[in-house]
Every structure is written in structure tokens, then in C-alpha cells.
Structure 1
């Protein structure tokens, strides 16, 4: 299922459990079967900006929230409240570059397996269409 991008920051925030100032996504660019693409324009006052760069923790949190958005949007389409989820594991994360404030980052999540509330994904984050980070993540829904 493909859809129009969601650029309403408020709607995107309503689809994930995180709240300001800990929100690390501000748009959903694409959604399909087993995939989502989310984005963030890095603000200069973002809590993960240090020494003039969006740090590693911010990138990993952005990746995790992109996964949360995938789940949240699935529940939104069913008119059900999104459950809270947790990061079960992070594996093979490689961060090649730290974005500057004002830059846009785009993360594509590809679902490898989804079973009984556990989701395993491959994640690639890009800036200006150049890969700056990648990894795998396993998330678990709270019961």
C-alpha cells in the first residue's frame, strides 16, 4: 500500500510514543508493505546536537523512531491506538557521517521479519541521497 507523504509534524508525532523534546522524526515520506521512509530536518536546538553536529545517539534514535512510525501508522490505518514498543537489540550499526543542523536526513526501514510483536528491520539513513548510517534493529511491542 502506497500513500501520500505526511508532512504534518503533529500527525507524525501522534503516530509515535515519543514526545517533545525527544521526537526525532518530523515527516513520513513513503509507506508500503514491509517498508517506510521517514525524515527529519535537524534543528539547531535538537537535544542531540553537540559540537555543531547531530550526534550518533540522535541518529540511532531517529532510526528507532522510524521503526516506531511504521508500527504506529499500521495501527492508525486500522483505527487502533498504537502500542508502546521497545528496542530489543541494535546490531551492525555503522555511522559514516554526522549531519549538520538544518540538514535533512531520510531513513528507509525494510522489515525482514514480523512475528508476534517482534519486528526485525534493516535501516539505512541518508543525507542528500548519500548513505550516512545503517544497521539492523529488533523492536518488541509491549503486551
Structure 2
């Protein structure tokens, strides 16, 4: 499987086609790297972002960005196999720590590490950064719809 993503795959329209969410609920716009067990995604904070309030991208937006980063990993896996990706759901969120809220034009870069994947259930560690400074981390369990 590819590790480095070519620039055209960083295209926000292509990235948006890999997840089930649609504007204005899209919280990922870049795919930097992918392996079977990792993914690095990005999201630039714009004024029209759904969770942009009072100059900050709020906590619920960061958590949704994390969840969509997991969905992007699944969506890209299915794309590489030339299959339609199923819809997934957040099964649980654990130990989320948000240290700093992004502001306008910040770019969140999030690394997803797959810890376990079995029978459509995926457990991941997630770390989000801005300019190589950690702003959030946590664990999430997602479940694919049958």
C-alpha cells in the first residue's frame, strides 16, 4: 500500500469523496500519508467552518475532525481496493484531551494510529497538532455499519 500521497490526493474534493460527510459538515481536507496502520490528515480552519465560533474552532469540531480522520483512513483503504466504503459510527471516545483551540487559518494536522482492527471495529490513538505543537489527543473506537 502507498505510504506517501501524491499532491493530487491532497485535493479537498477528492478527500471529501472518501468520507460520508458532506459540506458544511466536512472537517478534513487533506490526506498527507497513508499506510495500513496509520494516516495523517489535515484541515485548514476557515470562517465558514461549522464549528468556528468566536474566533476559535471549538472542541466538538476537533473531535469531529478526529473522527473524520479515522473515516478517511477507512475510505482510502476501500478506494485502493476499488470498493465503496461503508458508513461508520463512533462507538466510543476515550481520554480526549484538548490543550488548545485552533484559530482562523490554522491547519490541524492529525495522525491516526490503528491499534486494533477486527470485524469492522477499529480502535485508534489520535494526535492533532498545529505547527508541530500538540493541541489534542485521545482514543476512539469506530464501528462500520453492516
Smaller-chain TM-score bracket:
over 0.9
Pairs within 5 Å for 1:1-143: 1=1, 2-5=3-6, 6-143=9-146
How many aligned positions are there?
Answer: 143
> What stretches of structure 2 of length at least 5 have no aligned partner?
none
Q: What is the alpha-carbon distance in structure 1 between the residues aligned to residue 87 and residue 46 of structure 2? A: 26
Give the match's secondary structure for 1:70: helix
Q: Distance in 1 between matches of 2:41 and 2:4?
A: 13
TM-score normalised according to structure 1 size: 0.98
* Runs of 4+ with deviation above 3 angstroms: none
RMSD in angstroms over aligned alpha carbons?
0.7
State the TM-score, normalized to the length of structure 2.
Answer: 0.96
Structure 2 SS opposite 1:71: helix
